[in-house]
Structure 1
Amino acid sequence: MANRRNSRLSGEMQRVISEIIRTELKDPRLSELTSVTDVHVTEDLKFAKVFISVYGDTKSTLDALQSAKGFIRREIGKRIKMRIIPELIFEKDDSIEKGIYMSSLINKVIEEEASRKVEDESDDE
Structure 2
Amino acid sequence: MANSPISRPTRVAQEVRRTLAQLLVQEAKDPRFQKITITECQISKDLSVAKVHFSLMGHSSEDPEVESTLQALEKAQGYFRSEIGKRLNLRIVPQIRFYFDTVPENVQHIEDLINKALNKN
Aligned to 1:68: 76
Pick the aligned partner of 1:83 from 91, 101, 109: 91
For residues 6 and 102 of structure 2, the distance between their equivalents in structure 1, rounded to whole angstroms, comes to: 25
For residues 86 and 19 of structure 2, the distance between their equivalents in structure 1, rounded to whole angstroms, comes to: 10
* Count of matched residue pairs: 112
- Structure 1's unaligned 5+ residue stretches are 115-125
Aligned to 1:16: 19
Aligned to 2:62: none
The letter of the residue matching 2:94 is P
Aligned to 1:123: none
Cα RMSD of the aligned pairs, angstroms, is: 1.6
The SS at the match of 2:54 is: strand
Return closer, same or farther for 1:105/1:14 CA change in 2, 3 Å cut-off. same
The SS at the match of 2:37 is: strand
- Which deviations, in whole Å up to 9, do the C-alpha atoms of 1:48-102 show, x marking residues without a partner? 0000111342111111110000000000001102110000000001111011011
Task: Tell which deviates more after alignment, 94-103 or 49-58.
Answer: 49-58
The letter of the residue matching 1:44 is D
Identity of matched residues, %: 34
Pick the aligned partner of 2:46 from 41, 44, 49: 44
- Structure 2's unaligned 5+ residue stretches are 60-64
By how many angstroms is 1:32 displaced?
A: 2.6
Instruction: Extract structure 1 runs of 4+ deviating beyond 4 A.
Output: none
